[in-house]
A and B are shown apart, each in its own frame.
Chain A
Amino acid sequence: MLTVLEANVRKVVIELMRYLPNTISLIATFYIIFLAMFLGISVIGDPASADANLRFAIVGNAFWFLLLVGVSSMGWELTTEATRGTLEQLAMSPVGLRTIVLTRMLGTLAVHLVITVGMLLLTMLTAGQWLRFDLPLLAAVLAPTFVAVIGLGYMVAGLALVFKQISALLQILQFVFLGFAFVPLAMLPWLELAPVVKGVDMVRHALVDGATLAAFGPRDWVSLLLNAAVYLLLGLLAFTVAERRATARGLLGQY
């Protein structure tokens, strides 16, 4: 399992390096989006709340990026690998496709987390706004949040196995994730049921409003963990069903 993880993380990193122009343009896009927000906030926003707004934008943007990459990259990869013929090789591993997909998602998330942190530093430098990092708290919130992201990733990956053409879905998801990353729970409380949103909200409280560990009660943690568990299970279920359907119809390869 550790070997499988290592192999897949390596692959993610190698491909990222080999496609450096792609990677750079991806990062640049998000940086530019952020800069636009930055300018917008400082030009038309209320100067009194500008600082908080800026921090809000930084956090939201970072999460949007992570969600997009974390959830949809596996879907993209599976559709291309199905036509390339490598998906069948993955599915023939005694380790099981599910595990390989998991390690691939972990690798992608880890690599993009590093990129996101770098981007955060860059944007904070640009904005002159420094977020407070309470690392233990951040880690405690991010871990279950990423579990939910992986659950979502499994769902999208499962859809990719069965339906192949998922680019339209991924386009729509971009906007859904935009909502997840930017809409505060205070505004739409029922969004707490949606995946990942609770975690993003907690991170936002921590980074934007400077909330500490003490600021969150058991209700927050239960909601966060439950959210992660439910979406991971749903994701695994969806993926398993999709894999069964794909083998019943011979969809793992090009036909």
Chain B
Amino acid sequence: MVDVVGLRKTFPARGRHAPAVTAVDGVGFRVGRGELVGLLGPNGAGKTTTIKALCGLVRPDEGELHVCGIDVRRQRRQALRHLAAVLEGNRNLYWRLSVRENMEYFAGNRGVSRAQARGRIDTLLERFALGDKRNALVSDLSRGMQQKLALAVAALAQTEVLLLDEPTLGLDVETGYEVRSLLRELRDEGRTVIVSTHDMPVVQDLCERTVVIAHGRVLVDDRVDHLLRLFASRAYEVQLGAPLSPGQVQTLRRRLVSVTVFDDGLRVQVDLAQGDDLYVLIDVLRSGGTPIESIDRRVIDFETVFRRLVRGETAGPDGVLDLTPDAALDRTGHHAAVRA
């Protein structure tokens, strides 16, 4: 459905204070029909540029872009028939026009008359809970409603592919949830959706797969559950019934690379991903007669995974992720208790 190969874009310098910026430096990924893929990356990573290149709004320097098999660079207008995008949340709308007028105007610009669009507009407005606002001016809507309307406008185009740049930006928890379920519905309709976001619940709840971009390159392209497993299954936290002795701590530090001791010796964490062996820990505990209260496997959320990925804990050449200790995990991770 969507194919990006070796996309490169350097924005030319704009005078002395705005030097040339390489926004995207060889990004490539492929999204199949009906997939909902998250495009992630820190600020300035190149997500928006990638999406705009797919929309034909930014002309790439190099690379191939295909939407539904159509070359975006050579047959831009044909390709645009198959995609719709929401680029800046609530800003892709005419604030002086009403909700319905916006829908009608954008439909008209795609060659769909008001009569043709009427039924579908009504359905969409109901579905997006904007029915009773249909005649309100967009400027009078809340940000959440505006953002839903922008999404509705994109959905109205009935294209196979939807590109969404930060659709939940600036939304409260409730509206964010609502937008997520709307996105899920769009995917369930069989649309192919690429969503760039900083909103981790969007990734964790919705996306089967995520492409993480940093500095204009793809860092990881993998299934979300796979990434979670990869990171989560390797760190264990052991809760002790009595504090470790200084001697035990010394031994642990000598024999385990990743060990961290908390709470005056009452809690220990080990990361197996770094070649550490849980048996070593167990042996040291047994030798001192230290009681084990529980062993928790870390269940980390995608936010932590993402932070670790971006911090340079990148995929190795064979696709295996190398991990290094990360203090953030200790504080933000949740626990899934595996009672000892």
Contacts and interface: CB of A to CB of B under 8 A. Distances in A.
Interface in B130-166: 153
Interface stretch (B92-100, B241-249, B268-276, B283-291): B92-100
Contacts of A196: none
Contacts of A85: 87-88, 91-93
A19 interface: yes
Interface string A138-175: 00000000000000000000000000000000000000
A94 B11 contact: no
B80 interface: yes
B112 A3 contact: yes
Given A84-B95, A254-B88, A92 B55 contact: yes
Given A89-B106, A247-B59, A250-B52, A96 B96 contact: no
Interface stretch (A5-13, A66-74, A119-127, A213-221): A5-13
A14 B97 contact: yes
Nearest to B48: A253
A230 interface: no
B335 interface: no
B97 A92 contact: no
Contacts of A92: 55-57, 80, 83-85
A93 B110 contact: yes
Interface residues of B, number: 39
Interface residues of A, number: 33
Contact of B49 (A86, A93, A250): A250
B109 A88 contact: no
Nearest to B97: A14
B109 A100 contact: yes
Nearest to B113: A3
A15 interface: yes
A93 B59 CA distance: 16
A1 to B, nearest CB: 8
B248 to A, nearest CB: 57
Nearest to B12: A249
B244 to A, nearest CB: 55
A131 B84 CA distance: 52
Interface of A: 1, 3-4, 6-8, 10-11, 14-15, 18-19, 84-86, 88-96, 100, 244, 247-250, 252-254
Interface of B: 11-12, 14, 49, 52, 55-59, 77-78, 80-81, 83-85, 87-88, 91-97, 101, 104-114, 153
Please give me the 5 A-B residue pairs with the lowest Cβ-Cβ distance, nearest first: A7-B108, A85-B91, A247-B59, A94-B80, A93-B109
